[in-house]
């Protein structure tokens, strides 16, 4: 992992993957972090937000620029990026509490319930970053259990080699009544938005309005599509096995 410093920001980079884009001011990063922030600002039904995965807090700058000023609680297995976040963003970011813990263990132990939980976990692999096994095996149901009524779960999903996107996304959405998927023009990632949601078109409008308010270049670089629920357990068993082997 290395830090790349630019004029008004710094990047935490692992191989080819940008784990965080940390600004020294509230504003757009012009990256996928803006869209993750818009999911919170536009869709959270209340102020209680938990972030599973923090790295350097890349979504905080666009989120604060969108006017979401309530405290944030983040969980990460490593606090290596926290000093950089404090250096660049500490003076203006508002209250951001970061807990050092494994996300699944923390969710099991906490008694808190949240209006929105955002899961943005990844682990390195010899090729590209992949989702940890806990993201496929445990977190979807735990996230659903820790949401308040009407709560929303957001997952930044990475591809699992050999597993179809539909099977992967439908598995992650199984605990929830409805889900939509954000598809990007320039990123392989997809964002799963699950819970009691309006239509895909309404979600897209809400996200674009939040992004347009801060002038993000991502405002028109994605689409939102409804996701069905039809997957059988077998494809996910294979996905979990592949995710495990990719870490070996």
CATH number at residue 70: 3.40.50.150
Alpha helix positions (H), the chain: 32-43, 60-65, 82-89, 103-109, 133-137, 139-145, 165-173, 200-213, 233-246
pLDDT tens-digit map of 39-60: 999 999 999 999 999 999 999 9
If phi over 0 gives left and psi between -120 and 50 gives alpha, with beta otherwise, what is residue 148? beta
Please write down the HEC assignment for all residues of 166-180.
HHHHHHHHCCCCCEE
- Split at pLDDT 50, 70, 90, the class of 233 is very low
| Average pLDDT, integer, range 102-123 | 96
Lowest-confidence region among 57-66, 194-203, 238-247: 238-247
* Mean residue pLDDT across the chain: 91
| Average pLDDT, integer, range 198-204 | 97
Domain that includes residue 83, residue range: 2-246
| Average pLDDT, integer, range 25-34 | 97
Domain tally for the chain?
A: 1
Measured in whole angstroms, the distance separating CA 191 from the mean position of its chain's CA atoms is: 7
CA pair distance 184, 157, nearest whole angstrom? 12
Query: Could you tell me the two tokens for 38?
Result: 């818009």
pLDDT of 61 reads 98
**Contact between 129 and 104 (Cβ < 8 Å):** no
């Amino acid at each position: 992992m290395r830090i790349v410093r630019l004029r008004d920001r710094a990047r935490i980079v692992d191989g080819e993957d940008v784990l965080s884009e940390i600004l020294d001011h509230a504003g757009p990063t012009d990256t996928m972090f803006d869209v993750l922030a818009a999911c919170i600002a536009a869709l959270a039904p209340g102020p209680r937000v938990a972030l599973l995965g923090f790295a350097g807090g890349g979504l905080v700058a666009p989120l604060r620029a969108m006017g979401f000023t309530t405290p944030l609680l983040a969980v990460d297995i490593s606090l290596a990026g926290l000093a950089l976040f404090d250096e660049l963003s500490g003076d203006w970011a508002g209250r951001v509490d970061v807990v050092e813990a494994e996300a699944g263990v923390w969710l099991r132990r906490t008694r808190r319930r949240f209006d929105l939980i955002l899961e943005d976990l990844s682990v390195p692999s010899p090729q590209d970053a992949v989702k940890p096994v806990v993201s496929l095996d445990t977190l979807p149901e735990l996230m659903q259990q820790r949401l308040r009524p009407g709560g929303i779960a957001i997952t930044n999903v990475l591809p699992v080699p050999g597993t179809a996107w539909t099977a992967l996304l439908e598995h992650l959405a199984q605990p929830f009544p409805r889900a939509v998927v954000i598809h990007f023009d320039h990123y392989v990632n997809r964002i799963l938005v699950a819970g009691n949601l309006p239509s895909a078109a309404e979600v897209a409008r809400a996200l674009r309005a939040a992004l347009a308010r801060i002038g993000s270049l991502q405002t028109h670089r994605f689409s939102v599509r409804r996701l069905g629920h039809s997957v059988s357990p077998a494809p996910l068993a294979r996905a979990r096995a592949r995710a495990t082997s990719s870490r070996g």
